[in-house]
Amino acid sequence: MATRSAPTERQKRLGAELRRMRLAAGATTEYAAGLLGIDRTRLSNMESGIRPFSAERVRTLACNYACADERYVEALASMADEKARGWWEHYRGTLPTGLLDIAELEWHAARVRTAQVMHVPGLLQTEEYARAVFAAVLPALTRLEVELRVDHRMKRQQVFERAEPLPYVAYVHEAALRMPYGGAEATRRQLEHLAAQSERETIDVRVIPTSVGGFPGAGHALLYADGIVPQLDTVQLDSAHGPEFTGAEAQLTKYRAHLDWMDDAALSPAASRDLVRTVAREL
């Protein structure tokens, strides 16, 4: 199988999970490579995502690692068996790979929860508002770069239009509602759209009012994607140099606690929708 010069986050995650499984079993790279009839360098490349695994090899390793969690093993085998190119691959070479990795993460997630402090979540943005968000990036993007990002962001929203829409919970701080990206009129239209989207069966918008005061992770944009099985949950954080991804259990536990706190602190979906509409009228 061909090597990959730049594996995706999902491909790297598959390799990392199999490495984690090997280490938990106390197996060496030499032992695992021998099971597959390959050399240890090739196995190391597979565990780093540079070379692909087949579903058959995933099951072979899991069996010899004595992994008894069948759902977990089959979830990994399913990841290895993916052959179709996602719609996001159309943008490879024209957008940063991190943006494509976010789209792939959302597409395969069983549920997504997000927390936003500075602006409305990307999956709920209007084209006009998204354009204003990208226009505020430093260093400044060219017009073409902005339009490519806007187009990609709009296409990400198709997770809500497929046969099984993505379950989505957005925790949005009241401050984000009042940030006038694109001016008052553009923000008003964005908030009206946000309120309308929050009425959909699979979308919950929960506003954290300013009266709550400080909260954990203040200032951090956070996306928590539930995997098919809990072991494949992933956190994505925004940073000045691009998105960061982690599946480390300690980090997952921390950010689950953050989201649980927000769930307790946020207004109900109905009260959140009322506040969104109130802020829209005040603009």
pLDDT value for 213: 85
Q: Which fold has domain 89-282?
A: Endonuclease; Chain A (3.30.870)
**What are the helix (H) ranges across the chain?**
9-25, 29-36, 40-47, 55-64, 70-80, 97-108, 127-135, 143-156, 174-177, 184-197, 249-265, 269-282
Q: What is the DSSP letter of 92?
A: B
pLDDT value for 72: 98
Question: Six-digit token pair at 184?
Answer: 């008052």
pLDDT string in tens for the chain (283-residue length): 566 678 999 999 999 999 999 999 999 999 999 999 999 999 999 999 999 999 999 999 999 999 999 999 999 999 999 988 999 999 999 999 999 999 999 999 999 999 999 999 999 999 999 999 999 999 999 999 999 999 999 999 999 999 999 999 999 999 999 999 999 999 999 999 999 999 999 999 999 999 998 877 767 789 999 999 999 999 999 887 889 999 999 999 999 999 999 999 999 999 999 999 999 999 9
Strands (E), 24-89: none
pLDDT value for 1: 53
Q: Tell me the pTM.
A: 0.95
Instruction: Find the largest Cα–Cα distance for the chain.
Output: 68
Among left, alpha and beta (phi > 0; psi -120 to 50; other), residue 223 is: beta
Cis peptide bond upstream of 167, omega within 30: no
Domain boundaries, the chain: 9-80, 89-282
CATH architecture designation of domain 9-80:
Orthogonal Bundle (1.10)
Residue 176 burial class via C-beta count within 10 angstroms: exposed 0-12, middle 13-18, buried 19 and up:
buried
- Residue in this structure with the two tokens 């759209």, named with its chain if needed: 193
pLDDT value for 124: 98
